[in-house]
Amino acid sequence: MKNVAALAGVGIKTVSRVINGEPNVSAVTTARVRAAADSLDFHPDLHARNLRRADGRSSTLGLLVGSVGNPFSGAMHRAIEDLANTRGVAVFASSLDDDPDREEVAVSAFLRRRVDGLILTTVSKSQGYLLPELRRGTPLVFVDREPAGVEADVVVSDNAAGAAAATRHLLSSGHRRIAFLGDRTDIQTAQERRRGFLEELGRAGVATADIPVITGLHDEDAANRALIALLESEHPPTAVFSSQNLITIGAVRGLRELGLHRTIALVGFDDVPLADLLEPGITVVAQNPSEIGRLAAERIFARLDGDRSAGRTYVVPTELITRGSGEMRPK
């Protein structure tokens, strides 16, 4: 900054005001300082600046999502980042991969970097390890899944209601043998979607003892193999509810491999890319990850701005989108 000030012919305080976007510096002086900074390839040291800030903030957030490669996580991340950008805040993102050990490692890495707040998708049985951070005043917002052992703001989809809507839709077309393809049973969202599915069958008077319920499917290949085996069994289903977007992609591939994509009805939970361009299009219960991200960002900044109210749970509704695959009647 001394070199920039000397080249621009101003004091160091003037350089500081220009770099930090403060008022009361003329346009001519600002242009001269910026030209000097450019010619010297000067970039402000954010870590040094943070050490001198009265509030000690780093203008960063830590974001932990299921996987940065999942479209749901990507849309949520983008919404959070869009709002953070308006506040001059950078977002560090990391993937959970539904691994409890990775969860704590990622959170620890964020905290070592002195992030101002955390927006977290979690999988551990308890998030009690975050209690010291809450006591220190670090704002926390949980997304997609509710935490255990801590009280904080939570933004989630209505998973059970969405699964019930998907099941009700298939029942309304006359299906009674509906297969459920689910994620790992230790994942809260998977538990809720399974519960919504089975409870809706119960409300319709459909016995659930013989309903095919396959869980532990964590990727496309596992879902593909599971559905093919089910469809080649002695009592195949007439319809399928796939309760996660990667599972839906695997299910679509399995149906197409067997030439049953116009025979077996399918409703997925979570929208998938190009779902409307297939024939038939994929009927889904769509979440709204952008709204989840927006609400989460609003809450973290409200906390940073001084909101000390008790933590709340915000439930974002889902939407049934009919495209053809879920409207086929049983043969």
Domain ranges of the chain: 2-44, 60-157+289-316, 159-288
CATH number of 2-44: 1.10.260.40
Alpha-carbon span 115 to 130, nearest angstrom? 14
| Helix, strand or coil, per DSSP, at residue 315 | strand
Q: What is the pLDDT of residue 216?
A: 95
pTM: 0.81
| pLDDT cut 90: percent of the chain above it | 84
CATH number of 60-157+289-316: 3.40.50.2300
Among 50-64, 185-199, 242-256, whose mean pLDDT is lowest? 50-64
**CB 103, CB 82: distance < 8 Å:** no
pLDDT, average across residues 258-285? 95
Nearest CA to 19 out of 113, 38, 55, 82 is that of 38
Span 2-16, average pLDDT: 92
Determine whether domain 159-288 maps to CATH 3.40.50.2300: yes
Report whether 183 contacts 247 (CB < 8 A).
yes
Q: Same CATH topology for 60-157+289-316 and 159-288?
A: yes
Contact 33, 8 (CB under 8 A): yes
Q: What single DSSP character describes residue 96?
A: -
Position 212 scores a pLDDT of 96
